[in-house]
Amino acid sequence: MYVTLREVLAEANALNMAVGAFNTHNLEMLPAIIRAAVAQKTPVIIQTSEGTASYVGHRNLVAVAKSMADEFGVDVVLHLDHAKNFDEIRKALDAGYSSVMYDGSSLPFKENILGTKRVVEYASKTNASVEGELGTVGGTEDGIAVAQADVHYTEPEQAVEFIEKTGIDALAVAIGTNHGQYKSKTNISFEQLEKIRDAVNGFPLVIHGGTGVKEEDVRRVIDLGIRKFNVGTELLVNWNITSKDAYNEHKENTSNRNNVVPALEVVQSIVEHKIQLFKNIG
């Protein structure tokens, strides 16, 4: 079924697992991600940036997500990731996105509350879910870099107040991860995450920059309340490497699908592996 973020995260909470949220960078990636979820018998969150949504077309993405959810009987969430522009958020919700993230993390605390609350109010018209962010995740997201000096962890007390005053369905937390990190792995502050988990009392928490998280740390952060696990860079990098090799290998009059299909197979394989980790099975 085509569902909301709050629905899949409620199941994740009950089962002490995380739901994988995978960024599609084009329309071709989307079916591969959903097929991986079908194979793993889990819900899946398809994420797009504002740029990808505009490039592919909001309604095109909604149509494919809904169609495949119905065809394969898998729960699919279509989520706008790291949106800062209210007009872009409104455009996605009006087109049928079932979830959005408003990223006001760079704003003063009160302004972040006000902006996030406005998005929650608009999203309620279509029963869509909303993710907020508190604290600052480092690295580069969709070409926009965050300086290390501007990175700061989520404060537990502020997290409680933020959740209560905005009405969000999930909270992205800053605990040491970085967007775009794929050549190395990050050192997570488990102590900070535990403090946040205890303060928010079971509220669904989100990790951004999931590509940079060590596999051995995945279970630990899930046990500490992470319910949505974002992965984007790993898919993009491996898509580009695989498709580049295919284009170099094949003649120019080879069908384009022969260059795209190998990249799709790699994407599906990565997503399946990540989902297995996120199930948090002993």
For the annotated catalytic residues, the residue numbers are 81
41 burial type by CB count under 10 A (0-12 exposed, 13-18 middle, 19+ buried): exposed
Would you state the structure tokens that stand for residue 259, as one six-digit string?
A: 């260059």
Q: In sequence order, which residues have a C-beta less than 8 Å from that of residue 82 and are 6 or more positions away?
A: 49, 50, 101, 103, 141, 142
**Tokens 């580049």 sit on residue:** 244
CA 165/CA 177 separation, integer angstroms: 26
CA 17/CA 14 separation, integer angstroms: 8
Would you state the structure tokens that stand for residue 47, as one six-digit string?
A: 């994420």
Bridge partners of residue 22, in order along the sequence: 46, 231
- Amino acid letter, 12: A
Q: In sequence order, which residues have a C-beta less than 8 Å from that of residue 39 and are 6 or more positions away?
A: 268, 272
CA 273/CA 250 separation, integer angstroms: 29
CA 50/CA 186 separation, integer angstroms: 26
Q: In sequence order, which residues have a C-beta less than 8 Å from that of residue 172 and are 6 or more positions away?
A: 101, 105, 131, 132, 133, 134, 137, 205, 206, 207, 208
Q: Tell me, what DSSP letter sits at residue 2?
A: B
